Amino acid sequence: MSTYEIYLSPPFPAPNTKRYVQEAIDSGWMAPAGPFLNRFEALLRAYHGVAAVALNTGTAALHLALKAAGVRAGDVVILPAFTFVATYNAVRYLGAEPVLVDSDATHWHMSVQATERAIVSLKKQGRRIGALLPVHLYGAMAPVDALCNLAQAYGVPLVEDAAEALGVRWGQQPAGTFGVTAALSFNGNKIITTSGGGAFLSADEEVAKKVLYWATQAKQATNGDWCHEEVGYNYRMSNLLAAVGCAQMEYLPHFIERKREIAGHYRRLLKESEQKEHIVWQPVLPQVQPTYWLNCLLFAKPAMREAAMRRLREAGVECRRLWNPLHRQPLARQCLFFTEDDTATRLYAHGLCLPSGHALTEAQQARIAELIQQAL
Ligand SMILES: *Cc1c(COP(=O)(O)O)cnc(C)c1O
């Protein structure tokens, strides 16, 4: 692990964290069950208006979200190439085949046109499409209206990878409530964190019960013994981490407000570079209320991005290129990829994520902006 003076997205301990963790320890529930786990799920449920099951990672949540949507071995699952590898891995855990679609340059998320071409082509080949799996990127949101329409028109379940989108809304409706199932992540770098963790979401209470059952070794109490009918998983979140989660979730409105301030300030600081068309910020669809989990921008030329990244890192500022698309990864090289002009690779070649942590100061932001301007 390299050390930086300013990190990309460090965890921030919300005010009640220590108190809740102490309470969890004192209560004797240092276990994957307990009062904080119930409370954390109740907070998630109240926020989203759907059932929530707290799990030990976002990847586990994705795995069970796909399984609960009915994805089986031999199915195809359609997902964007421009995402983190976890989205892809969850599909592979079920023995399904990931099919990749390109990004739309106007919003970076999976292209609706390319998705429809993929669906039509796969259906023609007689393939069973297990799920459509859009990913909401960096605290913004994919065009869920059009994607939900496609899913409905072709009879394919939609599963949302909302790992980066807790708190984002489409109109008034929160990300993670559009699909039949969805996954959130509370990894250390996300907008709220339980150091590691995730949650499954679904409006279907029966499906949520099933996911809780799968996540706890698929055990049924019979005559005082466990009876097992199905393969299960050990995916439950611990009560200790749920205590951290409660403190974080209560503080979510402050996290979001702060992220929006940081985003606004970056945009003011780099206004001139934007006007000169040296940079553009991640576009946000008009219906979306973003959280700006990470502040992402594209440079006019890849060489500019490289220069900016080098300068920032040398000055002790952690920053990262955007996702290196899946179709470029050795792991996923055999996947079908539906594209017209490989927008995902262009995003990767030009893009950068800037430090966006809760405790970032205006002075630090000014220094980051200055380093970028020097590089330009
Ligand atoms: C973080 C992330 C995940 C995985 O979440 P973990 O909690 O780290 O397992 C999945 N998909 C996307 C897009 C992510 O950013």
**Distance, CA 56 to ligand 1 centroid (Å)?**
12
- For the chain, domain boundaries: 17-250, 253-375
State the distance from the centre of ligand 1 to the C-alpha of 59, rounded, in angstroms.
6
Rounded distance from Cα 60 to ligand 1 centre (Å):
9
How remote is the CA of residue 189 from the centroid of ligand 1, in Å? 10
Ligand 1, from 187, 189, 191, 233: best to mutate by most atoms within 8 Å of Cβ?
187
- Stated length of the chain: 376
Mutate to test the pocket of ligand 1, among 164, 184, 233 (most ligand atoms within 8 A of CB): 164
pLDDT per residue as tens digits for the range 250-263: 999 999 999 999 99
Q: Is 3.20.20.220 the CATH classification of the domain at 17-250?
A: no
pLDDT tens over the chain, length 376 residues: 578 999 999 999 999 999 999 999 999 999 889 999 999 999 999 999 999 999 999 999 999 999 999 999 999 999 999 999 999 999 999 999 999 999 999 999 999 999 999 999 999 999 999 999 999 999 999 999 999 999 999 999 999 999 999 999 999 999 999 999 999 999 999 999 999 999 999 999 999 999 999 999 999 988 889 999 999 999 999 999 999 999 999 999 999 999 999 999 999 999 999 999 999 999 999 999 999 999 999 999 999 999 999 999 999 999 999 999 999 999 999 999 999 999 999 999 999 999 999 999 999 999 999 999 999 9
What local confidence, expressed as pLDDT, does residue 244 receive?
98
Would you state the structure tokens that stand for residue 1, as one six-digit string?
């692990």
CA 83 to ligand 1: nearest atom = 13
Helix (H) or strand (E) holding 297: strand 295-299
**Pocket lining for ligand 1, CB < 6 angstroms:** 57-59, 83-84, 86-87, 135, 161, 163-164, 185, 187, 198
The dihedral of CA 35, 38, 41, 43: what is its sign? Answer: negative
Instruction: For ligand 1, atom 7, name the residue with the nearest CA.
Output: 58
Looking at residue 1, its pLDDT comes to: 58
Q: How far is the CA of 25 from the centre of ligand 1 (A)?
A: 28
373 contacts 275 by C-beta, under 8 angstroms: no
Distance CA 287, CA 82 (A): 22
315, two tokens = 């000055």
Residue type, position 65, single letter:
A
Q: Atom of ligand 1 at shortest distance to CA of 137?
A: 13
Å from CA of 185 to ligand 1 middle = 6
Residue with CA closest to ligand 1 atom 6: 58
Distance between CA atoms of 132 and 138, rounded to whole angstroms?
19
Render pLDDT for 54-84 as a digit per residue (tens, 0 to 9): 999 999 999 999 999 999 999 999 999 999 9
d(CA 321, CA 140): 17
Say if domain 253-375 classifies as CATH 2.30.30.790: no
